[in-house]
Amino acid sequence: MSSGRRNSMIVRTPEGIEFSILLAGPVVRFLAWGIDVACISLTSITVGSLLRLFSILSLDLGMALIVLANFIISVGYGICCEWFWRGQTLGKRLLRLRVVDEQGLRLQFSQVVVRNLLRIVDTLPLLYMAGGVTCLISSKSQRLGDIAASTIVIRNPEISLPELELLADEKFNSLCEHPHLAARLRQKVGRDELSIALRALLRREELEPAARVKLFGELAEHFRSLVKFPHEAVDGVADERYVRNVVDVVCKRHGCG
Amino acid sequence: MIIDLERFIGDEKPFWDELEGILDRMEQDVAFTMDLAAVQRFHYLYQRTSASLARIDGFAAAPELRRYLESLVARSFGEIHETRERPHCFAPWAWFSGTFPRTFRRHIRKFHLSLATTIVGCLFGGAALLLDPADKEVLLPFQHLTGSPTERVSREEQEVNKHLEKEKLTFSSSLMTHNTQVSIACMASGLTFGIGTLMLLFFNGVILGAVIFDYVAAGQTLFLAGWLLPHGVVEIPAILLAGQGGLILATALIGRDSGLPLAQRLRLVWGDLVTLMGGVGIMLVWAGLIEGLFSQYHEPVLPYPVKIGFGVAELTLLVLFLSRAGAGGAGGRKVSANIRGGGDV
């Protein structure tokens, strides 16, 4: 495992596969904590109202139960939620965050307890100042409790597969008429350039018309500069169509046709 | 168009969907388990998805696809590669009667340091009051302790605790929660490389020493023993155990001569910290009940010899429990073998 960008961490599996984990920053964690505080308060008020019924039997008993319940809820909320929801409290769940082991492994119960008990140091001197400062300094955005428990808080944004059918069409690709130039194009177009072109095509509907024309114009100009195709292959071909044809040529591993 | 990528996704998507379905169930259902065939299938799907991720690594593709596969592999990775021991079933009695006292004994040196710090604090508190009695209000930040011990004893023996008559349980639960918070703070302060823990233990000792000196000097030793012993013989050791936890944490952080990286050193002590704090919690519940329902009754309601006898009996049982219980058991994990100064018994 190695440190990646500040907002992500690269994990290398024993199979030799590398993947990145998105780390949650202090601001989003603070928001999640705010939601959790609201939940704890609401739960305490609700449970307190129910336990007040015991005051009918004995005022002393009712008050004692309320004191105990408030304490158990405030200490147990984080521990129970993170253990039973695999690293999530309600606030984390709403903001799509999750606590995981620093090495990307499953959380152990002792880790959950330790990071929650050590929260008391993170809250010092007030409003999570110690934890917040540590989180800002730490390369993995860890508060003190996280460092001691070897945990990190990650972001799990909703990710869906790209809708490649948006690219699908059966129109004639004039670049394929020149196989040797198409082969050279495949050699010259890099992964990043192709990725940008592919992304632009997938998101074409989201772009403003003027921005769309400008973007595809710049992409087409760049690709035209890499390999010069004969006039008959490129004349009258709009910039967006040209970019689409380039992507088509490059993405087909066995060439055109 | 984009035939290969489309075909690639078309071929692999059923496997990705299947893996995503299993992961969703794992994350939503705590009790979710798999038989051998299901585990093998899960492993196959993980490997296949990892292979897909490796394939697009050398093949320009939409970043969304890469992120989608990364998220699937990341979620599966923790499940597949988790090889640490997991408790099959929590057995409360076995834990309390075996694991807890064994853990305490395994780190006995930290307990000794915790005890020594408190004793030094006691001596300091007593000496400070002896040298300058005017410091009493500074040393004892509790209103009911700042007055004359003789007057308090006289008042409490006359009132026979009428002031607590209708709030015994509330008082008791407040004590439990307050003491537990102090214990958690004492353990958590180990993060300051033990300085915070030692300061809390010392300060606790200063208050205790000042109170003892104040009452003994006023000739109220019997009242003091009858008042403090029933709950103090459990409450004070509980705080010392929390301090022991803080010192274990500090030792792992400092890691002098252990030869292990920080994360590894910390991993070795999590279980022991949780065990100690669990035991401390139980001890403080007991101490809170005794303090609220028993300690506050004085003569003539409860004769002092009875209260002192009860306290001595508790202390004897506690010492026997912590020094003998679970001695014939499995012995627990040998944590401190890897961290110098662990003090195995």
| Whole-number percent of chain A with pLDDT over 90 | 31
Q: Which residues of chain B have pLDDT under 70?
A: 1-4, 6, 57-63, 83-88, 143-146, 160-165, 257, 329-345
Q: Do B87 and A191 touch (CB under 8 A)?
A: no
Which of B 171-200 lie inside 8 A of A, CB atoms? 172-174, 176-177, 180-181, 184-185, 187-189, 191-192, 196
| CB atoms inside a 10 Å sphere around CB B24 | 12
Burial of A213 (0-12, 13-18, 19+ CB in 10 A): middle
CA A197 to CA A244: how far, in whole Å?
A: 8
Mean local confidence (pLDDT), A100-104 = 87
Mean local confidence (pLDDT), A178-203 = 81
**CA angle, A22 as apex, A115 and A138 as ends, to 5°?**
50
Burial of A236 (0-12, 13-18, 19+ CB in 10 A): exposed
Residue numbers in A near B185 (CB within 8 A): 120
Q: Do A161 and B166 touch (CB under 8 A)?
A: no
Q: Do B57 and A18 touch (CB under 8 A)?
A: yes
| Residue-level pLDDT at A48 | 93
| Residue-level pLDDT at A126 | 81
Q: How many CB pairs under 8 A join A and B?
A: 180
For A201, nearest residue in chain B (alpha carbons): B62
Residue B7 at interface with chain A, using a CB cutoff of 8 Å: no
CA A32 to CA A24: how far, in whole Å?
A: 10
For A199, nearest residue in chain B (alpha carbons): B62
Across the interface, of B70, B267, B274, the residue whose CB is closest to A150 is: B267
At what angle are helices B108-131 and B195-217 packed, to 10 degrees? 50
Domain boundaries, chain B: 3-81, 94-324
Per residue in A3-15, pLDDT (tens digit) is 444 688 888 888 7
Per residue in B115-145, pLDDT (tens digit) is 999 999 999 999 998 888 877 777 777 766 6
Residue B129 at interface with chain A, using a CB cutoff of 8 Å: no
Per residue in B139-173, pLDDT (tens digit) is 777 766 667 888 878 887 777 656 666 778 888 88
| Residue-level pLDDT at B197 | 96
Residue numbers in A near B53 (CB within 8 A): 17, 19
Residue numbers in B near A159 (CB within 8 A): 64, 67-68, 71
CA A21 to CA A156: how far, in whole Å?
A: 9
- Taking the model in full, what pTM does it have? 0.79
Tell me what the pLDDT averaged over chain A comes to: 85
Q: Do A84 and B30 touch (CB under 8 A)?
A: yes
Q: Do A61 and B169 touch (CB under 8 A)?
A: yes
Q: How far is A122 from chain B (nearest CA, A)?
A: 10
Q: Do A19 and B74 touch (CB under 8 A)?
A: yes
Tokens coding B73:
């592999």
| Residue-level pLDDT at B342 | 39
Q: Do A13 and B54 touch (CB under 8 A)?
A: no
Domain boundaries, chain A: 2-155, 164-251
| Residue-level pLDDT at A86 | 86
Residue with tokens 């019924």: A53
| Residue-level pLDDT at B236 | 96
B329 DSSP assignment: S
For B61, nearest residue in chain A (alpha carbons): A195
- 3-state secondary structure labels for all residues of chain A: CEECCCCEEEEECCCCCEEEEEECCHHHHHHHHHHHHHHHHHHHHHHHHHHHHHHHCCHHHHHHHHHHHHHHHHHHHHHHHHHHCCCCCHHHHHCCEEEEECCCCCCCHHHHHHHHHCHHHHCCCCCCHHHHHHHHHCCCCCCHHHHHHCEEEEECCCCCCCCHHHCCCCCCCHHHHCHHHHHHHHHHCCHHHHHHHHHHHHCHHHCCHHHHHHHHHHHHHHHHHHCCCCHHHHCCCCHHHHHHHHHHHHHCCCCCC
Across the interface, of B69, B188, B271, the residue whose CB is closest to A117 is: B188
Across the interface, of A104, A167, A199, the residue whose CB is closest to B1 is: A167
Per residue in A119-178, pLDDT (tens digit) is 989 888 887 888 888 888 888 889 999 999 999 999 887 776 666 555 656 677 788 888
Choose from B43, B85, B191 for mutation: most chain A CBs within 10 A: B191
Residue numbers in A near B189 (CB within 8 A): 121
Q: How far is A255 from chain B (nearest CA, A)?
A: 10
Choose from A10, A15, A196 for mutation: most chain B CBs within 10 A: A15
Neighbouring C-alpha atoms within 13 Å toward the C-beta of B206: 16
Tokens coding A56:
């009918």
| Residue-level pLDDT at B59 | 60
| Residue-level pLDDT at B329 | 62
